[in-house]
Amino acid sequence: DVKVTQSSRYLVKRTGEKVFLECVQDMDHENMFWYRQDPGLGLRLIYFSYDVKMKEKGDIPEGYSVSREKKERFSLILESASTNQTSMYLCASSFPLAGGANEQFFGPGTRLTVL
Amino acid sequence: GEDVEQSLFLSVREGDSSVINCTYTDSSSTYLYWYKQEPGAGLQLLTYIFSNMDMKQDQRLTVLLNKKDKHLSLRIADTQTGDSAIYFCAEILDAGNMLTFGGGTRLMVKP
């Protein structure tokens, strides 16, 4: 089974702190994604990476950066956490399905609260 | 532009059918997906449909796609309490890797 793990389920940080969210997948997937999930807004893509050291901005990259030094690990960094970054953060990796579709496998999420 | 919309909430009785609807605006969608998120968990892919199909059936799940109206639906037959979850529709455009998600529909199944 594909497994996507995230370093923490719950995290509480203070405004201005630097925050690292780690994601690891064990299926050699090339594509990895970071989303944030907020009630009524669904999932919004922050950044994605299609290879080691490669990254692309998603829909809401402001206030975030990412790092992909190894294929299995994709890190989301909040350089200076703010209260409006309180959210559920979901990591995913993707695998091609038959016919050209993609299946994204999701981690369990990290609920981040910034005080 | 990309926009995927869903209603926020649906309540059904156990044993009834549930129909969750989704509309999208971009006609270049190639694949459309339904994901399920149970409480405290990540998203799990339920099913997907290629844009040149009208219908796909998988056990209790039936996906209907009306490409002309840009409308996607997920029907769950004989809904069970274990089907209570948030359901997200999502689309991928022309050979891309990025999914655009709807806001999610919370399905509540009453015993």
User: In three state form, how does the secondary structure of A30-74 look?
Assistant: CEEEEEEEECCCEEEEEEEEEECCEEEECCCCCCCEEEEEECCEE
Say yes or no for a CB contact (<8 Å) between A42 and B88.
yes
Give the chain A residue whose CA is nearest to the CA of B36: A106
Residue A35: the pLDDT is 95
Contact A40 B48 (CB under 8 A): no
Mean pLDDT, range A27-38, rounded to an integer = 92
Cα gap B103→A39, rounded to integer Å: 8
Cβ–Cβ gap B99/A104 under 8 Å:
yes
**Predicted local distance difference test score (pLDDT) of residue B2:** 52
pLDDT at B52: 86
Cα B95 to Cα A102: distance, rounded to the nearest angstrom: 9
Q: CA nearest A85: which of A107, A56, A60?
A: A60
Inter-chain touch A94–B97, beta carbons under 8 Å: yes
Q: pLDDT for B11-30, tens place per residue?
A: 999 999 999 999 998 777 78
Instruction: Give Rg (Cα) of chain B.
Output: 13
User: Taking residues A48-74, what's their average pLDDT?
Assistant: 93
Span B52-83, pLDDT tens digits: 889 999 999 999 999 999 999 999 999 999 99
Using DSSP's 3-state secondary structure scheme, residue B50 falls into strand
Nearest CA distance, B13 vs chain A (angstrom): 24
End-to-end CA distance of chain A: 37
Mean per-residue pLDDT over chain A, rounded: 91
Chain B residues inside the 8 Å CB shell of A58: 98
- Is the CB of B104 less than 8 angstroms away from the CB of A31? no
CA–CA separation, A109 and B41 (whole Å): 7
A45 contact residues in B (CB cutoff 8 A):
98-99
How many residue contacts between A and B have a Cβ separation below 8 Å? 63
Is the sign of the CA dihedral B90, B24, B40, A110 positive or negative? positive
Cβ–Cβ < 8 Å for A71, A87: no
- Return all residues near B104 (Cβ < 8 A) that are at least 6 apart: A40, A42, B6, B8, B37, B86, B87, B88
Mean pLDDT of B93-103: 76
- Give the distance from CA B25 to its chain's centroid: 15
- The CA distance from B58 to A62, in Å, is 40
Contact flag B99-A102 (C-beta cutoff 8 Å): yes
- A42, A103, A104 ranked by CB distance to B102: nearest: A42
